[in-house]
Chain A
Amino acid sequence: NAGVTQTPKFRILKIGQSMTLQCAQDMNHNYMYWYRQDPGMGLKLIYYSVGAGITDKGEVPNGYNVSRSTTEDFPLRLELAAPSQTSVYFCASSRGAVTEQYFGPGTRLTVT
C-alpha cells in the first residue's frame, strides 16, 4: 500500500513551458485534492475532486487545470508556467466527506 504518490519530486521549468504533475493513490479514495504551499502561507487549495469525472476549483485555481478520469489518478496541468507558480505542490486524498486527508510527499517546482 503506497498511499499517495507524486511525480516528479523536483522540476525546473522555463517561463511559458507546460507540464503535468502526477498524483496517484491506491486507497480507493473518492476525494482528491491539489494544494500549493508557499513559505509562511500554509497550504492553499488549487482544485479538488469528489469522484471520477467530477472536479471543482479551490481557492487558487488560476493557471492550472485538472482532470479525473479514474479513481486512482488526479493529474495537475500547468499550461503556461509563470514565476508565481514556483511552489511546493501537494496532492492529497480522503475516503469522503468529514474524513482526514492523506498527503503525498510533494513536488518542488521552480519556474525561471
Chain B
Amino acid sequence: AQSVTQPDIHITVSEGASLELRCNYSYGATPYLFWYVQSPGQGLQLLLKYFSGDTLVQGIKGFEAEFKRSQSSFNLRKPSVHWSDAAEYFCAVGGSGATNKLIFGTGTLLAVQP
C-alpha cells in the first residue's frame, strides 16, 4: 500500500541549530515528493518538490531535501533554524497517474527555542 511516514511527531530545536525532518515513503511506481509547511491557522505552502534529476533539491526559506531511492526517504534539512520556522511540516508523495492524488504524512510539529 502507498504510504508516507513521518516518524517524529514533535521536534524542538534551538534557534541557530541545524534541523533534519524525516520522511519515508512506500510507493509502487516512480514517486514525486513534496514538502509543505503549515503555520498556525494557515493553509499549506509548498517548500520544495522532487520530480526527477538531481536528488538534492533546494526550496524556499533556506530548506533543502535529499531523495534517497535506496532508503525510500526524502528528508528535509536546514542548516540554521530561525524562530519563524516554527510550524508543522508535511511530507507528501504522488505519482505519474492522471489524477495527481497526493498521500500525506501525519506531519511533524517543529518548535524553536530561543
Please give the residue numbers on chain A whose beta carbons come within 8 Å of chain B beta carbons, in ascending order: 4, 31, 33, 35, 40-45, 48, 50, 56, 58, 90, 92, 94, 96-106
Query: Do residues B9 and A90 form an inter-chain contact, with CB atoms below 8 A?
Result: no
Query: Do residues A105 and B100 form an inter-chain contact, with CB atoms below 8 A?
Result: no
Q: Which of B36, B42, B96 contacts A105 (CB 8 A)?
A: B42
Which of B41, B43, B104, B107 has the most chain A CB atoms closer than 10 A to its own CB? Answer: B43
Number of contacts between A and B (CB, 8 Å)?
62
Tell me the minimal C-beta distance from A60 to chain B in angstroms: 12
Sample (20) of A-B pairs whose CB atoms are under 8 Å apart: A31-B99, A33-B101, A40-B107, A42-B4, A42-B90, A42-B106, A43-B104, A50-B99, A90-B44, A94-B100, A97-B99, A97-B100, A98-B96, A99-B100, A100-B46, A100-B49, A101-B46, A101-B102, A103-B45, A106-B43
7 closest pairs, A vs B, by CB?
A103-B43, A42-B104, A103-B44, A42-B106, A43-B104, A97-B100, A105-B43
Inside 8 A of A102's CB, which chain B residues have their CB? Answer: 46
In this assembly, does B27 line the interface, its C-beta being within 8 Å of a C-beta of chain A?
Answer: no
Inside 8 A of B51's CB, which chain A residues have their CB? Answer: 98
Inside 8 A of A97's CB, which chain B residues have their CB? Answer: 96-100
Q: Which of A35, A40, A45, A106 contacts B106 (CB 8 A)?
A: A40
